[in-house]
A and B are shown apart, each in its own frame.
Chain A
Amino acid sequence: MLRLTEALHKVIKAHGEVSYPFEGCGLLLGRVVDGVNVVTEVRPLPNVWPVEEEKRVRFRIAEDDWRDVELAAMLKGLDVVGVFHSHPDSLPVASPRDLAWAAWPGYSYLITQVQGGTAVLSRSWQLLPDRSGFVEEDVVIE
Protein backbone atom coordinates (compact mmCIF):
# COMPACT_ATOMS: atom_id res chain seq x y z
CA MET A 1 0.00 0.00 0.00
CA LEU A 2 1.08 3.56 -0.74
CA ARG A 3 -0.02 6.50 1.39
CA LEU A 4 0.51 10.17 0.56
CA THR A 5 -1.15 13.53 1.03
CA GLU A 6 -3.22 15.36 -1.55
CA ALA A 7 -0.62 18.16 -1.50
CA LEU A 8 2.16 15.75 -2.46
CA HIS A 9 -0.03 14.17 -5.13
CA LYS A 10 -0.54 17.65 -6.57
CA VAL A 11 3.22 18.08 -6.87
CA ILE A 12 3.46 14.75 -8.71
CA LYS A 13 0.59 15.65 -11.04
CA ALA A 14 2.07 19.09 -11.72
CA HIS A 15 5.41 17.53 -12.64
CA GLY A 16 3.68 15.20 -15.07
CA GLU A 17 1.88 18.15 -16.62
CA VAL A 18 4.94 20.37 -16.95
CA SER A 19 6.86 17.45 -18.48
CA TYR A 20 4.12 16.76 -21.07
CA PRO A 21 4.33 15.56 -23.83
CA PHE A 22 7.38 13.84 -22.35
CA GLU A 23 7.38 11.50 -19.38
CA GLY A 24 8.19 13.09 -16.02
CA CYS A 25 9.75 11.17 -13.14
CA GLY A 26 11.00 11.41 -9.59
CA LEU A 27 11.38 9.71 -6.23
CA LEU A 28 9.04 9.19 -3.30
CA LEU A 29 10.58 9.74 0.15
CA GLY A 30 9.25 8.69 3.50
CA ARG A 31 9.21 5.61 5.68
CA VAL A 32 7.96 2.07 5.55
CA VAL A 33 5.42 1.70 8.38
CA ASP A 34 4.01 -1.78 8.95
CA GLY A 35 4.60 -2.62 5.31
CA VAL A 36 2.98 0.58 4.03
CA ASN A 37 5.10 3.00 1.98
CA VAL A 38 4.23 6.31 3.65
CA VAL A 39 5.37 9.28 1.55
CA THR A 40 6.27 12.52 3.30
CA GLU A 41 8.25 14.23 0.53
CA VAL A 42 8.53 13.94 -3.23
CA ARG A 43 11.50 14.84 -5.41
CA PRO A 44 10.77 15.54 -9.08
CA LEU A 45 13.90 14.73 -11.10
CA PRO A 46 15.03 15.24 -14.69
CA ASN A 47 14.12 12.58 -17.23
CA VAL A 48 17.61 11.80 -18.51
CA TRP A 49 16.64 9.35 -21.24
CA PRO A 50 19.31 10.19 -23.83
CA VAL A 51 17.10 10.50 -26.93
CA GLU A 52 14.92 13.60 -26.62
CA GLU A 53 12.06 12.44 -28.85
CA GLU A 54 11.87 9.07 -27.08
CA LYS A 55 11.11 10.83 -23.78
CA ARG A 56 7.50 10.74 -24.95
CA VAL A 57 7.55 7.03 -24.15
CA ARG A 58 10.59 6.55 -21.92
CA PHE A 59 12.13 7.88 -18.74
CA ARG A 60 15.33 7.31 -16.90
CA ILE A 61 16.50 8.59 -13.52
CA ALA A 62 20.22 9.41 -13.30
CA GLU A 63 22.01 7.37 -10.68
CA ASP A 64 23.81 10.50 -9.46
CA ASP A 65 20.43 12.21 -8.94
CA TRP A 66 19.22 9.21 -6.93
CA ARG A 67 22.44 9.37 -4.87
CA ASP A 68 21.89 13.04 -4.07
CA VAL A 69 18.30 12.40 -3.00
CA GLU A 70 19.38 9.39 -0.94
CA LEU A 71 22.06 11.39 0.90
CA ALA A 72 19.66 14.27 1.58
CA ALA A 73 17.02 11.84 2.79
CA MET A 74 19.50 10.20 5.17
CA LEU A 75 20.11 13.53 6.88
CA LYS A 76 16.37 13.85 7.49
CA GLY A 77 15.91 10.29 8.66
CA LEU A 78 13.92 9.48 5.53
CA ASP A 79 14.25 6.77 2.88
CA VAL A 80 13.43 6.34 -0.78
CA VAL A 81 10.21 4.29 -0.75
CA GLY A 82 9.25 4.50 -4.40
CA VAL A 83 9.47 5.96 -7.86
CA PHE A 84 6.91 8.00 -9.76
CA HIS A 85 6.58 8.71 -13.45
CA SER A 86 3.95 9.83 -15.92
CA HIS A 87 2.43 8.15 -18.96
CA PRO A 88 1.48 10.87 -21.46
CA ASP A 89 -1.83 10.07 -23.16
CA SER A 90 -1.72 6.53 -21.86
CA LEU A 91 -3.25 4.54 -19.00
CA PRO A 92 -1.29 4.54 -15.72
CA VAL A 93 -0.59 0.84 -15.99
CA ALA A 94 2.87 -0.61 -15.42
CA SER A 95 4.20 -1.60 -18.84
CA PRO A 96 6.59 -4.29 -20.08
CA ARG A 97 9.15 -1.51 -20.38
CA ASP A 98 8.63 -0.54 -16.73
CA LEU A 99 9.07 -4.20 -15.82
CA ALA A 100 12.25 -4.61 -17.84
CA TRP A 101 13.89 -1.65 -16.09
CA ALA A 102 12.59 -2.17 -12.54
CA ALA A 103 14.71 -2.58 -9.42
CA TRP A 104 13.69 -4.54 -6.32
CA PRO A 105 10.24 -5.60 -5.13
CA GLY A 106 9.13 -3.36 -2.26
CA TYR A 107 9.33 0.03 -3.93
CA SER A 108 6.06 1.65 -4.96
CA TYR A 109 5.87 2.50 -8.67
CA LEU A 110 3.33 5.33 -8.90
CA ILE A 111 2.23 6.14 -12.44
CA THR A 112 0.16 9.18 -13.42
CA GLN A 113 -1.78 9.38 -16.66
CA VAL A 114 -1.43 12.82 -18.25
CA GLN A 115 -4.08 13.24 -20.92
CA GLY A 116 -3.65 16.15 -23.33
CA GLY A 117 -1.47 17.90 -20.77
CA THR A 118 -3.74 17.36 -17.76
CA ALA A 119 -3.02 14.79 -15.05
CA VAL A 120 -6.13 12.68 -14.68
CA LEU A 121 -5.37 9.51 -12.74
CA SER A 122 -2.63 7.88 -10.65
CA ARG A 123 -2.28 4.19 -9.86
CA SER A 124 0.53 2.41 -8.03
CA TRP A 125 2.25 -0.91 -8.64
CA GLN A 126 4.58 -3.29 -6.85
CA LEU A 127 7.02 -5.63 -8.52
CA LEU A 128 6.21 -9.28 -7.76
CA PRO A 129 8.79 -11.12 -5.63
CA ASP A 130 9.83 -13.29 -8.59
CA ARG A 131 10.09 -10.17 -10.82
CA SER A 132 7.66 -11.71 -13.32
CA GLY A 133 5.30 -8.74 -13.35
CA PHE A 134 3.65 -5.97 -11.39
CA VAL A 135 0.63 -6.13 -9.14
CA GLU A 136 -1.47 -3.06 -8.38
CA GLU A 137 -1.39 -1.76 -4.82
CA ASP A 138 -3.89 0.39 -2.95
CA VAL A 139 -3.18 4.13 -2.92
CA VAL A 140 -4.47 6.22 -0.04
CA ILE A 141 -4.46 9.96 -0.76
CA GLU A 142 -5.59 12.02 2.25
Chain B
Amino acid sequence: MPGDILLNVQEVFGEVMPTIRIPTPLRPYTGGQSEVAVSGNTVGDALADLTRQHPDLRPHLFEGDSLRSFVNIYLNQEDVRYLEGAETAVSDNDTLLIIPSIAGGKGGV
Protein backbone atom coordinates (compact mmCIF):
# COMPACT_ATOMS: atom_id res chain seq x y z
CA MET B 1 0.00 0.00 0.00
CA PRO B 2 1.22 3.56 -0.59
CA GLY B 3 0.96 4.26 3.12
CA ASP B 4 3.25 1.38 3.94
CA ILE B 5 5.78 2.65 1.42
CA LEU B 6 5.69 6.15 2.90
CA LEU B 7 6.10 4.78 6.40
CA ASN B 8 8.97 2.58 5.33
CA VAL B 9 10.76 5.44 3.61
CA GLN B 10 10.48 7.43 6.81
CA GLU B 11 11.76 4.55 8.90
CA VAL B 12 14.67 3.67 6.61
CA PHE B 13 15.90 7.11 5.62
CA GLY B 14 14.82 9.02 8.68
CA GLU B 15 12.73 11.34 6.51
CA VAL B 16 10.51 13.55 8.63
CA MET B 17 6.88 13.99 7.60
CA PRO B 18 3.84 15.49 9.28
CA THR B 19 1.96 12.93 11.35
CA ILE B 20 -1.70 12.58 12.17
CA ARG B 21 -2.65 11.03 15.50
CA ILE B 22 -5.53 8.62 15.10
CA PRO B 23 -8.27 8.39 17.78
CA THR B 24 -8.65 4.88 19.20
CA PRO B 25 -12.07 4.17 17.57
CA LEU B 26 -10.58 4.87 14.14
CA ARG B 27 -7.49 2.68 14.45
CA PRO B 28 -9.22 -0.39 13.01
CA TYR B 29 -9.21 1.59 9.76
CA THR B 30 -5.47 2.34 9.89
CA GLY B 31 -4.32 -1.20 10.54
CA GLY B 32 -3.99 -0.39 14.22
CA GLN B 33 -1.58 2.52 13.71
CA SER B 34 -1.90 5.27 16.32
CA GLU B 35 -0.06 7.75 14.12
CA VAL B 36 0.13 7.97 10.35
CA ALA B 37 2.84 9.85 8.45
CA VAL B 38 1.35 11.89 5.64
CA SER B 39 2.51 14.05 2.75
CA GLY B 40 1.13 17.45 1.86
CA ASN B 41 1.80 21.12 2.43
CA THR B 42 -1.60 22.00 3.87
CA VAL B 43 -4.02 20.51 6.39
CA GLY B 44 -6.37 19.66 3.53
CA ASP B 45 -3.63 17.88 1.59
CA ALA B 46 -2.53 15.98 4.70
CA LEU B 47 -6.08 14.76 5.37
CA ALA B 48 -6.48 13.82 1.72
CA ASP B 49 -3.31 11.77 1.91
CA LEU B 50 -4.49 10.12 5.12
CA THR B 51 -7.75 8.99 3.52
CA ARG B 52 -5.90 8.00 0.34
CA GLN B 53 -3.70 5.70 2.43
CA HIS B 54 -6.66 4.46 4.48
CA PRO B 55 -9.86 4.88 2.42
CA ASP B 56 -12.09 3.24 5.04
CA LEU B 57 -11.39 6.20 7.33
CA ARG B 58 -13.03 8.68 5.01
CA PRO B 59 -16.70 8.18 5.97
CA HIS B 60 -15.78 8.57 9.64
CA LEU B 61 -14.14 11.94 9.04
CA PHE B 62 -16.02 13.38 6.08
CA GLU B 63 -19.60 13.81 5.01
CA GLY B 64 -19.35 14.52 1.31
CA ASP B 65 -16.47 16.92 0.87
CA SER B 66 -16.78 18.47 4.31
CA LEU B 67 -15.52 17.30 7.67
CA ARG B 68 -18.28 15.78 9.80
CA SER B 69 -19.78 18.35 12.12
CA PHE B 70 -18.22 16.83 15.25
CA VAL B 71 -14.71 16.47 13.79
CA ASN B 72 -12.12 19.11 14.64
CA ILE B 73 -8.56 19.24 13.39
CA TYR B 74 -5.78 20.66 15.51
CA LEU B 75 -2.36 21.58 14.15
CA ASN B 76 -0.14 20.91 17.12
CA GLN B 77 -2.12 22.90 19.75
CA GLU B 78 -4.20 25.12 17.45
CA ASP B 79 -7.70 24.46 16.13
CA VAL B 80 -7.28 25.02 12.38
CA ARG B 81 -10.71 26.72 12.24
CA TYR B 82 -8.97 29.65 13.91
CA LEU B 83 -6.01 29.47 11.51
CA GLU B 84 -6.69 29.04 7.81
CA GLY B 85 -8.79 25.89 7.91
CA ALA B 86 -7.89 23.34 5.25
CA GLU B 87 -5.47 25.83 3.71
CA THR B 88 -3.38 26.02 6.89
CA ALA B 89 0.25 25.22 6.05
CA VAL B 90 1.84 22.15 7.65
CA SER B 91 5.54 21.46 8.15
CA ASP B 92 7.44 18.24 8.41
CA ASN B 93 7.61 18.16 12.20
CA ASP B 94 3.95 19.05 12.73
CA THR B 95 1.43 16.79 14.42
CA LEU B 96 -2.25 16.92 13.52
CA LEU B 97 -4.81 15.85 16.11
CA ILE B 98 -8.35 14.71 15.32
CA ILE B 99 -10.50 15.90 18.23
CA PRO B 100 -14.24 15.19 18.42
CA SER B 101 -16.85 17.57 19.76
CA ILE B 102 -18.77 15.75 22.47
CA ALA B 103 -21.95 16.81 24.19
CA GLY B 104 -25.19 15.24 25.36
CA GLY B 105 -27.31 14.94 28.43
CA LYS B 106 -30.52 13.41 29.63
CA GLY B 107 -33.59 14.02 27.57
CA GLY B 108 -34.49 14.67 23.96
CA VAL B 109 -32.27 16.06 21.23
Contacts and interface: CB of A to CB of B under 8 A. Distances in A.
B32 to A, nearest CB: 10
Interface residues of B, number: 26
Tell me the dominant secondary structure on chain A's binding face. Answer: mixed
A49 to B, nearest CB: 7
Interface residues of A, number: 37
B21 interface: yes
Contacts, number: 103
Interface stretch (A6-14, A77-85, A115-123): A77-85
A104 B23 contact: yes
Nearest to B34: A79
A101 B99 CA distance: 14
Contacts of A105: 25
Interface string B79-106: 1000000000000000001011111111
Interface in A64-116: 64, 66-67, 70-71, 74, 79-81, 83, 85, 87-88, 90, 95-107, 109
A60 interface: yes
9 contacts: A49-B105, A58-B105, A59-B103, A66-B99, A71-B77, A95-B104, A95-B105, A97-B104, A104-B23
Interface of A: 23, 32, 49, 57-61, 63-64, 66-67, 70-71, 74, 79-81, 83, 85, 87-88, 90, 95-107, 109
